[in-house]
Structure 1
Amino acid sequence: MDSLLTDQRLWTHCRLSGFAPNVFSALSYRPEELRCFINYYGVVMEPRGNLTKADKEMIIVATSSENNCLYCIIAHGALHRIFSKDPYLADQLAANWKSASIDERQRAILEFAMDVCQCKPLSKERFENLYKHGLTKDDAWDIGAVASLFALSNRMAYLMNLKPNPEFYLMGRVKKEKTPEETK
């Protein structure tokens, strides 16, 4: 794992969060696969188009809940709380996204993502519903890419019996104390 910390994306993530998520240690069993995962994750999660970081984390929490992935629900629930600045929505999404306090745009995103997650045919109406809410064909691709990447991630977490780091449970719930570096 230490030799992999030279990977810029991995190092940045660990430095910003203050800890190495268990998924990195577990995937380091096969270093080349970890490098590929980190690179693809970075590309898919990069902000672009009309999807925010909070939108992408919302997709991850809802689809990971559908896939019963404890690790991703907890880890990405934490990230959703941080990016959305909403301390409650990630828990609602994990319990039942259909009854969560989301707007119509978010509902259109999750309906599309859940069809991808469940390998359902994507209807013309699903695309049109995205377009009606200001989303594009490229945004639909991005929604599908996030749902697909986390189908893989959810299954790998299951394979490894991966448990969330304790730090994730409090992220976005308890104010993080700044390190001396961050106060400069």
Structure 2
Amino acid sequence: MALLFRLLRPGLSSCVPRLLTNGLGTLSTVKVTTHPNETPSEEATKAISRYPVPYKKDLPFDIVELMEEVEKKTGFLPNVFKVLAHRPGEFRAFFAYYNAIINKETGHLSKADKELIIVATSVSNRCPYCVIAHSALHRIYSKNAILADQVIVNWKKADLSPRELAMLEFALAVSRADDITEEHFKKLELQGFDREDAWDIASISAFFSMSNRIAHFIDLIPNKEFYSLGRTNDQDL
């Protein structure tokens, strides 16, 4: 699944540079039809948000290229790509910032750490799409099929390490817009996180708090494929 996110890493010979520079396209009010000659399934025709998904033919080439590459690599196209294409400029900005904070190579946060932050933040913000999608990614990265589920139910009772607990406490304090004090930083430092790691944790929580609210008001529906990802040991990225 994370192949779709690797496509957004700097330095890859993908469509990302064009994604950030091409002009906008004209959007229609009907859903993407990848194979127009095929009879669409019930899932394919069901609305995935309150806003229309544009025809591929009406989208800018760079966005279509990214979508097709993602779908080819992962086997399905996450609904967030389809719906954000309604506003190409915001699509580009969203994935550019996502790339900057999630795919960075520095710091002490693992991929599983980042996904766990997203899951906890998204639960707090009551965002089904982000909870379902990112709990799937956490299961795959962590090789732990149950921890994300525990966090979804009650993160305070989940089998978290002291390090993970401190990380999520800080992330959720940022998400709730609590007053951040030196005590927050000290708790992180005791678990091996430095000030730059604190910034990373806060950026992920803040960005996904925004993402959660967008997904919430547009009523973004998770792809069914997310539910089973990472449930078995043979699933990898």
Q: Report the TM-score when normalising by structure 2.
A: 0.70
Partner Cα separation in structure 1 for residue 138 and residue 77 of structure 2: 18
Partner Cα separation in structure 1 for residue 131 and residue 71 of structure 2: 19
**SS of corresponding position for 1:120:** coil
Q: Does structure 1 retain, via aligned residues, the 8 Å contact 2:229–2:235?
A: no
Shift in Å, 1:48: 2.3
What one-letter code is carried by the residue in structure 2 that aligns with 1:72? C
Larger Rg: 2
Q: Does structure 1 retain, via aligned residues, the 8 Å contact 2:118–2:204?
A: yes
Q: Which residue of the partner structure matches residue 224 of structure 2?
A: 166
Alignment of 1:58-77 (within 5 A): 58-77=116-135
Q: Which residue of the partner structure matches residue 31 of structure 1?
A: 88
Matched, 1:17 2:71: no
Shift in Å, 1:134: 1.0
Residue 138 (structure 1) aligned to one of 172, 196, 201: 196
Aligned in 2, Cα 1:17/1:124: closer, same or farther, shift over 3 Å?
same
Partner Cα separation in structure 2 for residue 144 and residue 120 of structure 1: 12
Q: What does the per-residue CA deviation read over 1:52-91, in whole Å, with 9 as the maximum and x for residues that have no partner?
A: 0100000000010000000000000000000111000010
Aligned in 2, Cα 1:175/1:166: closer, same or farther, shift over 3 Å?
farther
Q: Does structure 1 retain, via aligned residues, the 8 Å contact 2:121–2:171?
A: yes
Q: Which residue of the partner structure matches residue 65 of structure 2?
A: 6
Q: What does the per-residue CA deviation read over 1:4-46, in whole Å, with 9 as the maximum and x for residues that have no partner?
A: 1334xx6654443221100110111001100111111111101
Any unmatched runs of 5+ in structure 1? Answer: none
**SS of corresponding position for 2:152:** helix
CA root-mean-square deviation: 1.9
Partner Cα separation in structure 2 for residue 101 and residue 172 of structure 1: 18
Any unmatched runs of 5+ in structure 2? Answer: 1-53
Q: Does structure 1 retain, via aligned residues, the 8 Å contact 2:174–2:205?
A: yes
What one-letter code is carried by the residue in structure 1 that aligns with 2:83? A
Higher RCO (CA < 8 A, seq sep 6+): 1
Aligned in 2, Cα 1:52/1:100: closer, same or farther, shift over 3 Å?
same
Q: Which residue of the partner structure matches residue 84 of structure 1?
A: 142
Q: Which residue of the partner structure matches residue 160 of structure 2?
A: 102
**SS of corresponding position for 1:164:** coil
Q: Does structure 1 retain, via aligned residues, the 8 Å contact 2:140–2:235?
A: no
Q: Which residue of the partner structure matches residue 55 of structure 1?
A: 113
Percentage identity across paired residues of the two chains: 44
Aligned in 2, Cα 1:126/1:15: closer, same or farther, shift over 3 Å?
farther
Partner Cα separation in structure 2 for residue 140 and residue 12 of structure 1: 33
Partner Cα separation in structure 2 for residue 172 and residue 23 of structure 1: 20
Partner Cα separation in structure 1 for residue 91 and residue 159 of structure 2: 35
**SS of corresponding position for 1:57:** helix
